[in-house]
Amino acid sequence: MDLGLFMHPIQNRDLTRHPADMLEECRQAIIYADEVGFDEAWVGEHQSSDIELITNPLQFCSSLIPVTKHIKFASAVISLPIYHPAKVAVDAAMFDHMSRGRLIMGVGPGAQVSDLELYDVLDKNRGEMVLESMEMIHKIWSSAPPYDIVGKYWTVKIKDQIVPKLGFGPMLKPYQKPFPPVVTSVMSPKSKSAAQAGERGWGILSGNFAQLDSARTHWEQYVIGCERAGRRPDRKNWRIARSILVADTDAEARDYLTEDNNAYECQFRFLVEDMNFFNLISVLKADPSVPDEAVTPKYCIDTLVISGSPSTVLDQLVHVVDTVGGEFGALIATFKEWEKPEVHKTSMRLLAQDVMPKLRNYCGAKLAAE
């Protein structure tokens, strides 16, 4: 089981932080993740937000290639409907070469409504656009000019201006062969996107704000999609994101999480407001019978945050593994704003170096016993 960091930076809570400082904080978190042994860094994309400032995950991650050693970089996600597929294809291929094959291509339909309005795709069938875009990207990567790929939403054409002696016409192919792995994020219970991913051989990432019972249905749908396509489902293609806080003792973790305005509380305050605004508050419920007004930041911390000493967190992660039916490809811990850097760095170090080796041993023993 790999370990990743999900960069979903709810920063600038009082709208006073300088953008350069916020972006550098995110960079330093990934550099530190690489140092302590994380395997993946997932970086989001928001083009019209003053609290989530990473507008281009590939551009952001390119600054980290020379200052990290082994961590893989994942877009979380590239909102395919707002781009021409050829632009995504060549940008991703170049990044894959620059990083020597450290790209994981996270893709999706986009979720931030202001971004979707900006690019005039709010009312379009964005799920359909994602499938068409990836099909075109893979055709570009698996063929040579002339290109004449016609779809419902886009056309990729280089036919009449091919000049071989000048090098005009071919588009860059990725470093990884045949392609970088493709992953899509899923949130809702019994997500159709999970089944579509299974059909196409993509991976899935269950979001950190999906309750564990919902995450389990994501894998069930993924298996259905694999079976439709005659594929053998591989649990290595499933990543689960969780909010995790590891401290030296249970008391330290508990004390931090009860502080006013701690980073976990602030992130869940944003998510509760966001989900209420879009009538999606049920996603955050551990029990459907819970009244909407009872879903508060504290409720989310109580039901969605794994916290405590290394041994306590290990016990809770063992419960996650057992609940979802066994080992999965990667555990993705979500980044929280570093209002207290040492709290968050300690958590990352203990998770990577103390908890994860023991969790991997548990998963190995569990598999051997089956």
Q: Which residue has the tokens 């450290």?
A: 102
Looking at the domain assignment, is residue 288 inside a domain?
no
Q: Which residues contact 10 (CB under 8 A, 6 or more apart)?
A: 51, 52, 266, 267, 270, 336, 337
pTM over 0.85: yes
How many domains are there within the chain? Answer: 1
Residue at token pair 């928001």:
46
Residue 102 falls within a domain, yes or no? Answer: no
Q: What is the pLDDT of residue 77?
A: 95
Output DSSP code: residue 48. Answer: S
**What is the rounded average pLDDT for all residues in the chain?**
96
Q: Distance (Å, rounded) from C-alpha 234 to C-alpha 201? A: 10
Domain annotation covers residue 238: yes
**What's the pLDDT score for residue 17?**
84
Q: Supply the pLDDT for residue 124.
A: 98
> What is the DSSP code string of 5-29?
EEE-----TTS-S-HHHHHHHHHHH
State the residue for tokens 């579509």: 196
The pLDDT value given to residue 51: 84
Kindly state whether residue 270 falls inside one of the protein's structural domains: no
pLDDT, tens digit (0-9, with 9 covering 90-100), for 187-232: 999 999 999 999 999 999 999 999 999 999 999 999 999 999 999 9
Report yes or no on 91 lying in a domain: no
Q: What is the pLDDT of residue 55?
A: 95
Distance CA 151, CA 60 (A): 30
- pLDDT value at residue 9: 63
DSSP string of 184-244, one letter each residue? EEE-STT-HHHHHHHHHT-EEEE-TTS-HHHHHHHHHHHHHHHHHTTPPP-GGGEEEEEEE
Kindly state whether residue 250 falls inside one of the protein's structural domains. no
Query: What pLDDT is attached to residue 233?
Result: 98
What pLDDT does residue 14 have?
65
For 176-192, b where at least 16 C-beta lie within 10 A, e where not — what string? beebbebbbbbbbbebe
The answer as to whether 164 is a domain residue is no
> In the chain, where does DSSP find H-type helix?
19-36, 57-62, 85-98, 113-118, 126-141, 192-200, 212-228, 250-257, 263-277, 297-304, 310-323, 341-350, 356-369
Regions in the chain scoring below 50 on pLDDT: none
In a domain, 22, yes or no: yes
Give the whole-angstrom CA distance, residue 184 versus residue 193: 8
CATH number, residue 15: 3.20.20.30
pLDDT at residue 8, rounded to an integer: 75
52-61 confidence digits (pLDDT tens) = 899 999 999 9
User: 47: domain range?
Assistant: 2-76+181-243+329-361
